[in-house]
A and B are shown apart, each in its own frame.
Chain A
Amino acid sequence: MNHGQQSGEAKHEDDAALTEFLASLMEYTPTIPDDLVEHYLAKSGFQCPDVRLIRLVSVATQKFVADVASDALQHCKARPAPVMKDKKQQKEKRLVLTMEDLSKALREYGVNVKHPEYFADSPSTGMDPATRDE
């Protein structure tokens, strides 16, 4: 009896947490715009009038991309710094998203990206970092 009451209370709390989360989605603006997500969802046969659910998909995608990018960043930071002649440049390590780091990060997420080994892809070739700026 007591146990049933407890689980009922827990359920109530969980429900409240869920509603709170869905309500917070209404105020949260994901980086990927709603219209864009809606377009892709409609393309795959997904119909839903609820904005919160579209936001949920959008947030999940954003989390996925952010996790992949931060993993790639860890790979980038873990790599030994290329030997530079200039000491100032050596201090400011360039943080560039490269195919090499990306494919390493994506491999952990079940995506196998294979790309041709370009000469310029390798950071140890002493490429001028200024040319890589966007």
Chain B
Amino acid sequence: MKRRRKSRVEFEVPDQSATTTTEFSFSLTRVAVSQICLSVGYRSTDSSALDTLTIITTKFLQSLAGLAASFANIANRTEANLFDIVNGLQDISLSTSDCFPGGSTLHDTESHCLIKSAVLRNLSDFVTSVSEIPFAKPLPRPEIDGSPGRNFTQTPRSPSVPAWLPPFPESIFFLERCTKETSDHLWENSDSVIGREILPVNSESESCKGRSGGILPERRARVRFKVERDSNDGESGREIEVKRKIREEPKKNESGGLIWLRTRDAIEDSC
């Protein structure tokens, strides 16, 4: 009881200020409950009484849902069906004998026909006798869709993945792993050789894809070029030949694919 009173104090706030999902759904239920009270014949209400009735409504809904879900789980099913709901209703009707009379008389289990259940017959009478009262306000779609349960089902997934599995992690995690793989990439392609040129992320992931497949996306021209040190440094005449893949085609034309790089220039550039 204490808990209930506390929550009542919380919900004294007007409906517009509902921020969380719980408050939002509570205020929606409150509107529906007050509509039902109005249809019964009430003209006004104490806010505490309305809040109490709203809380009891949500408890009723959740206990019925919990009962039906547990009946479904006992029968090794994940989805509840009509039998589970009727069984749950009959369990509830034992305590609320006024609302759903005849709950103690089970439906005919041999013929498997549920309309024999007095509870269900009462409900069908209710549907035919009571005129429908549609909900007063149109529901804002994004608020309801924002609930995690909805998003879960709406994420696109391949048909081979069962629906009850949790969704895949965000694609950031794949990309991160892909860039990590480049650390054991070929030494020639590493940044230190290319001249600290930072590759864009897209091309890296591309090369990564090609690597994992074992096939390069396209055949590239192979270029030879020499790195020569200046004679002033003392170590003269040393030539290092480096084979590298080159991306830009125009460089290939210069002096028959032979490019001379001076180390000093490179050092100056880096400084």
Which residues of A are interface residues toward B (Cβ below 8 A)?
7, 11, 14-15, 17-18, 21-22, 24-25, 28-33, 35-37, 39-50, 53, 56-57, 59-71, 73, 94-99, 101-102, 106, 108-111, 113-115, 121, 132-134
* 8 Å CB contact of A46 from B40, B66, B111, B144: B66
Closest Cβ neighbor of A93 among chain B residues? B43
Q: Within residues 15 to 72 of chain B, which ones have a CB less than 8 A from any CB in chain A?
A: 21, 25, 28-29, 32-33, 35-37, 39-46, 48-50, 52-53, 56-58, 60-66, 68-69
CA of A50 to CA of B79 in the docked complex: distance in angstroms? 10
Give A133's nearest chain B residue, CB to CB.
B44
Residue in contact with A25 in the complex, picked from B40, B80, B127, CB distance below 8 Å: B127
Q: Which 9 A-B pairs have the closest CB atoms?
A: A97-B45, A44-B65, A46-B65, A110-B95, A42-B149, A21-B124, A69-B40, A18-B115, A14-B113
CB of B1 closer than 8 Å to a CB of A: yes
> In the bound complex, do residue B133 and residue A31 qualify as a contact, i.e. CB atoms below 8 Å apart?
yes
- Whether the Cβ atoms of B85 and A57 lie closer than 8 Å is yes
- A60-B89, A64-B99 as given contacts; A102 in contact with B52, CB under 8 Å: yes
Cross-chain contact A95 with B44 (CB below 8 angstroms): yes
Q: How far is the CB of B91 from the nearest CB of chain A, in Å?
A: 12
Closest CB-CB distance, B115 to chain A, in whole Å?
Answer: 4
Most chain B beta carbons < 10 A, residue from A15, A57, A71: A57
Please judge, given known A-B contacts A44-B65, A65-B57, whether A36 and B46 are in contact too, CB under 8 Å. no
- Known: A33-B32, A60-B89, A99-B52; 6 extra A-B contacts, CB below 8 A, are A14-B115, A28-B127, A56-B123, A57-B64, A95-B42, A99-B48
Query: Which partner residue on chain B sits nearest A30 by CB separation?
Result: B132
A111 (CB) vs chain B CBs: closest residue: B56
Q: Which chain A residues border B63 with CB–CB below 8 Å?
A: 44
Known contacts A33-B28, A49-B79; A73/B42 CB under 8 A: yes
CA distance A49 to B80 in the complex (A): 9
Given A18-B115, A96-B46, A102-B49, also A45-B66 (CB < 8 A): yes
Q: Which B positions have Cβ atoms within 8 angstroms of A? A: 1, 21, 25, 28-29, 32-33, 35-37, 39-46, 48-50, 52-53, 56-58, 60-66, 68-69, 78-82, 85, 89, 95-96, 98-100, 111, 113-116, 120, 122-124, 126-128, 130, 132-135, 139, 144, 147, 149
Residues of A close to B81: CB separation below 8 A: 48, 50, 53
Report Cα–Cα, A113/B56, bound state, in Å: 10
The closest CB in chain B to the CB of A120 belongs to B46
Query: In the complex, what's the smallest C-beta–C-beta distance from B249 to chain A, in angstroms?
Result: 56
Q: If the complex has contacts A36-B29, A114-B1, are A64 and B57 also in contact, measured as CB distance less than 8 A?
A: yes
- Contacts A44-B65, A48-B80, A133-B44: A66 and B36 contacting too (C-beta < 8 A)? yes
Residue of B nearest to A69 (CB): B40
B149–A32 touching, CB < 8 Å: no
* Given A31-B35, A47-B80, A61:B61 Cβ within 8 A: yes
**Cβ contact of A61, chosen from B46, B60, B114, B139, cutoff 8 A:** B60
The chain B residue with its CB closest to the CB of A113 is B52
Contact A47:B78 (CB < 8 A) given known A73-B41, A133-B44 = yes
| B39 lies within 8 A of A66 (CB) | yes
Whether B61 pairs with A24 at a CB distance below 8 angstroms is: no
Contact B98 A71 (CB under 8 A): yes
- Give min CB distance, B153 to chain A, whole Å: 10
Is A45 a contact of B65 with CB atoms below 8 Å? yes
Q: How far is the CA of A96 from the CA of B42 in the complex (A)?
A: 6
B42 adjacent to A39 (CB under 8 Å): no
